[in-house]
Amino acid sequence: MQKIYFSSILLSLSLLGFSQIPNLPTREQPNPNTFQNYSDKNFVSPQKNKNIPALPSSFSNSNVSRIQQQNMAMVQNDFKRVEAEEGARNHQRYSNETQEQEGKTYLLNSLADKTGVKAYYTAFNNLSKFNPEDYSIADAVFIVENAYYNNDKNFQSTFQNGIQKAIKVIQSQIKNKNIDEDDNSSKNLAIFQYFADDTKQNGKVVHKAMKYDFDDYMGVKDYSKMFVSKLMKSNTGQCHSMPLLYLILAEQIGAEAFLVLSPNHSYIRYMDDTGEMQSLELTNGMFSANSFVLNSGYIKSEALQNKLYMQNLDKKQVLSQTFVDLASGYIHKFGYDEFVGQIINKALELNPNNINATLWKSNTDQIRFQEVCKRLGINYEDKQELQNIRNYPNLVGQLQEINNEFDKIDKSGFSIMPQEDYEQWLGSLSNAENKQKSEEIAERMRIINTQKQKEAQQKQKLKPNTPKKETPKVYTIPKAWL
């Protein structure tokens, strides 16, 4: 099968690949000419035996005491022992250096010398410090995007101010509608309205509804199109940035919401007052239904059984996806090296079912295999020439791992959704049937909210009007991440 996968919601890559080898070649004896000859290495000092003091000609002379003879013999033995130890150390050092050099042959070239890479190292270390069950999603998103901008101070203030501004608008709406602090459904609707409708205060529009950015929505030309910071700045975004901003705002006002993935897409769910999960499609400001997601035609039953899609992600799983975002930005900016594998392994540690992490791991392993083949003068696209990898056990192991990953991905239920099919499917949300379903759900939510507001007003009439003493939550980026 021809493979190189691409991250479905983040970045498309050119479909490079090589044919899977059904039966791995049997290993033949390596050609001796392809290996360095270590047998002629002299690890003992070239001055061997020259520094060892010779016994004087009078050593056996009876005039020399037995003690002097013993001392001289001990000195000779010490010199021999020291020289032998030095030879052993030199041999071990040479062996280690050789193994290290041979090991590098089978690894991707490091990109550590490129400008901006250190910012990603710092970001990875910072994300790794998070408690997966209790962390700030705003901080996690900031760390990822800040790494891309190489810790730019202007970006830091822009990101922080953007979130503060959004929270202020939403909290004002919550206060005006007398929404109770424990009313999770109404708080989610307040956030949803921030995305879907113009927000007015005192008859003036203070925030316009967010729009879908159809231009380069996968960030191929401009990767910043994927970012929450770009969404806050331009008020336009896509299915990656919009749900992340929603989660950030929900976290800041104390509302519970969930990130949900589907092929090439992500959206939001929350639980309403009746205990029913509502799906929010932020790209066009509509309520959605499971049937709409399934109608894409790219969700197999195996994918649902393996929990690839349509699952409410917990914070640990969201953090796993954040590591995928970090790797994606790094790949887009610099390319592949072993650091990508380190990031992806962390993502899979947090969520073994993360299909995007699995795809990036497969990509990384394939790129590594291709680079090593080129380094060894093997044309991996030629099946006949590919048989030469039998002389390199490490390379055979790499191909076995790649084929195992192909099988795992195929059995998971994953399938590639072409860009044109995704665009057509996303546009179908606005058809008459889906619009009607969305309007029915929205009307039901309005009726429930109206009733709750009436009940809240009646309660206020029955008890003294004592204003709540609340301290508005203000988001600030912790100094530890700057």
Element (H, E) at 270: strand 265-271
How many whole angstroms separate alpha carbon 158 and alpha carbon 235? 14
Kind plus residue range of the DSSP H or E element containing 371: helix 355-375
CA 331/CA 334 separation, integer angstroms: 5
pLDDT value at residue 358: 97
Query: What average pLDDT does the segment 77-99 reach?
Result: 68
What pLDDT, on the 0 to 100 scale, is given for residue 234? Answer: 95
Between 168-177, 371-380, 406-415, 466-475, the lowest mean confidence (pLDDT) is in: 466-475
Q: Average pLDDT in the 344-362 region?
A: 97
- Say how far apart CA 179 and CA 177 lie, in whole Å: 5
Q: Residue 266: is its pLDDT beyond 50?
A: yes
Instruction: Work out the mean pLDDT of the chain and round it to a whole number.
Output: 82
Is residue 256 pLDDT above 80, yes or no? yes
Residues in Cβ contact with 220 at an 8 Å cutoff, skipping those fewer than 6 apart = 11, 12
Bigger pLDDT: 203 or 163?
163
Phi-psi label, residue 473: left if phi above 0, alpha if psi -120 to 50, beta otherwise: beta
How much is the pLDDT for 18? Answer: 33
Q: Which percentage of the chain shows pLDDT scores above 70? A: 78
Q: What pLDDT shows up at residue 27?
A: 37
Percent of the chain having pLDDT more than 90?
56
Tell me the pLDDT tens digit for each residue of 68-79: 777 777 777 777
What average pLDDT does range 301-327 have in this prediction? 96
State how far the Cα of 11 lies from the Cα of 295, in Å rounded to an integer: 23
Pairing relation of β-strands 258-262 and 236-237?
Answer: unpaired
Q: How confident is the model at residue 139 (pLDDT cuts 50, 70, 90)?
A: very high
Task: Please give the Cα distance from 389 to 242 (Å, whole number).
Answer: 46
Q: Judge whether residue 101 has pLDDT over 60.
A: no
From residue 482, alpha-carbon distances to 90, 142, 152, 219 in Å are 45, 10, 9, 25
Reported confidence tier of residue 62, pLDDT bands at 50, 70, 90: low
Best-predicted range by mean pLDDT among 36-40, 150-154, 393-397? Answer: 393-397
pLDDT at residue 9 in the model = 29
Say what the pTM is. Answer: 0.77
* pLDDT tens-digit map of 20-47: 333 344 334 434 344 344 344 454 445 5
Whether the predicted pLDDT of 82 surpasses 90: no
pLDDT, residue 15, reads: 29
